[in-house]
């Protein structure tokens, strides 16, 4: 487990994440923040919406793949 500190609206929040996820989360956070040290509320909301949209698109792709696999398997 790894502790990660995020600053939102000038307030620090420390969260504990699994090591592998912490690495991925930190990488994504650094890409979004750039050289800034924290987020304001609007930026946090924007980041959340972006991540939700990415998740939505991935779910659509997975569903499409599942349908395609099922169709191919039904031909055997």
Range of the domain at 50: 2-74
Q: What is the pTM of this model?
A: 0.77
**Cβ-based neighbours of 47, under 8 Å, separated by 6 or more:** 32, 39
Give how many domains the chain has, as a whole number. Answer: 1
Binned at pLDDT 50, 70 and 90, residue 31 comes out as confident
Residue 35 pLDDT: 85
**What is the spatial distance between Cα 10 and Cα 62, in angstroms, rounded to a whole number?**
38
Secondary structure element (H or E) that encloses residue 11, with its range: strand 11-17
């Amino acid at each position: 487990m790894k502790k990660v500190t995020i600053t939102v609206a000038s307030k620090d929040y420390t969260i504990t994440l699994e090591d592998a996820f912490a690495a991925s989360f930190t990488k994504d956070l650094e890409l979004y923040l750039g050289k800034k040290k924290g987020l304001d509320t609007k930026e946090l909301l924007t980041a959340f919406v972006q991540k939700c949209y990415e998740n939505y698109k991935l779910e659509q792709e997975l569903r499409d793949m599942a349908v395609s696999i099922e169709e191919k398997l039904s031909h055997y």
